[in-house]
Chains A and B, each alone.
Chain A
Amino acid sequence: MLEHLELFFRSIFVDNMVFAVFLGMCSYLAVSKKVSTAVGLGAAVIFVLGVTVPLNWLLDQYLLQEGALVWLGPEYADYDLSFLSFILFIATIATMVQLVEIVVEKFSPSLYNSLGIFLPLIAVNCAILGGSLFMQAREIPNIGLALNYGISSGIGWFLAILAIAAIREKIRYSKVPAPLRGLGITFIITGLMGIGFQSFGGMLTGDNEPPEQTQTTTAETQEEKEIKKEIEDKEKAISYNEAINK
């Protein structure tokens, strides 16, 4: 349970798709002019990531990894098909997007109307393929965590595009230097937001800080504490003496 929670918050805030690894920047910049469309695209990304990451996890586990084919028989144990992962992942994503589009259109026309135009865009969104590739690179151990990872990185992306769309709606009323207008200022705002998100780095375990630094700071604080104690003791002694003198 704890590892689920940790992965959840880590993928939303610490390893945010947009601010930490710059995935899905193209649609992030192109579709963030209005909040309503940003919400639609963000929801579609959460949905597709939630479907494709567990699916690609299964593919990776039972088809691609070294020794993954052992369920076919012991003579297949030496096969390593991981060089095929790019082509297989992207094919899964493209077909899943198509399939999801058909299913959603059939069963929920209202959802289709709000997501519909964004679904085909998503097949070539780097955030989706990136989700699967990071899932593979980080060796996520089981399918529950893979599902968690897909959905929570989708939520992180959703938050990012929602925030930038809201800021861009407001910034229309500000006087931005003409050459920076539009794209330039969006880049710089995203950079500043990214720096803000960096501060989530130590939120969970604090393991992002180099250990030496923490040691020196604790040493310093200990010294400071001792000095403070001495000062307090002296003050106490002084006030005690004064009280006696009176």
Chain B
Amino acid sequence: MALLSKKDANLIKDPLADNNPITIQVLGICSALAITAELKASVVMAISVLFVMGVGNVVISLIRNIIPSKIRIIVQLVVVAALVIIVDQVLKAFAYDLSKTLSVFIGLIITNCIIMGRFEAFALGNGPRRAFLDGIGNALGYGVILVIVGFFRELLGSGTLFGMKVLGDPIAKTGLYSIGYENNGFMIIPPAALIVVGIIIWVQRSRNRELIEEA
């Protein structure tokens, strides 16, 4: 991180752990949970949000002095929607199957609270360079949780990672399956994502006691 001053580096580091958008700020959960049954979808979603957040934060930060504050929500929505359309079209062109799996959840990046939240809280008050770093940091923090949840759900639920059978073949009974291991079908169904995120929050807060909420 020689290129960045300490203050700038913190913009990226903070959202990764102590100020994570999902587990601490409680933003952007809507689209985070439904698509995490497979690791591949999680990674693509994380990259899409990274792109939208990075570019969106810079755009908003560049035009922040000419946006009338009364209509800023609409302006922000238009910027995000335009970026999301680009992501959606690119996915449809180059990864059609994946864009079918993600279906409406790519569109729902528009209303992902992380993006609006960071526009409001950061990009409107800071220069483009810092806004870019903040966007990248928060998108990475979001992506980290997505990938962790996706990893556990795919590994425990289907015994695969990125579609590769890492635990052996359940039908031919090789690898772990030969000693009686079974896939946990529970991890595939949507509510399991909530429980995995709940456990991540639990682990994170027991390691860092300052984050515990008042009763």
Contact = CB atoms under 8 A, between A and B. Distances in A.
Interface of A: 19-26, 29-30, 83-87, 90-91, 94, 120, 123-126, 128-130, 133-134, 137, 172, 177-185, 187-188, 190-195, 197-198
B111 to A, nearest CB: 4
B125 interface: no
B191 A191 contact: yes
B190 A19 contact: yes
B63 interface: no
A94 B73 contact: yes
Contacts of A192: 191, 195
Given A86-B84, A87-B81, A191-B192, A30 B29 contact: no
A187 B113 contact: no
Interface string B151-185: 00000000000000000000000000000000000
A135 to B, nearest CB: 10
B111 A90 contact: yes
Sorted nearest first, the 9 A-B pairs with minimum C-beta distance are: A194-B191, A191-B194, A187-B198, A182-B213, A179-B205, A126-B30, A133-B104, A191-B195, A188-B198
A136 B112 CA distance: 19
Interface of A is mostly: helix
B195 A187 contact: yes
Nearest to A84: B85
B148 interface: no
A153 B204 CA distance: 34
B97 to A, nearest CB: 16
A79 B61 CA distance: 35
A12 to B, nearest CB: 17
Contact of A134 (B30, B104, B116): B104
Which residue among A20, A90, A123, A192 has the maximum number of chain B CB atoms within 10 Å of its CB? A90
A124 B117 CA distance: 10
Given A19-B190, A94-B74, A188-B198, 5 more contacts: A29-B29, A86-B110, A178-B205, A183-B201, A190-B194
Given A184-B198, A192-B191, A90 B110 contact: yes
B99 to A, nearest CB: 12
Interface in B30-72: 30-34
Given A20-B190, A137-B103, A184-B205, A179 B116 contact: no
A197 B206 CA distance: 30
Contacts of B211: 179
Contacts of A197: 191
Contact of B27 (A26, A90, A94, A187): A26
Nearest to A98: B74
B95 interface: no
B108 A130 contact: yes
A19 B85 contact: no
A26 B26 contact: yes
24 contacts: A20-B190, A22-B29, A22-B32, A22-B190, A29-B29, A30-B26, A86-B107, A87-B85, A90-B110, A90-B111, A91-B81, A124-B111, A130-B111, A133-B107, A137-B103, A178-B205, A180-B202, A181-B212, A182-B213, A183-B23, A184-B202, A187-B197, A192-B195, A198-B189
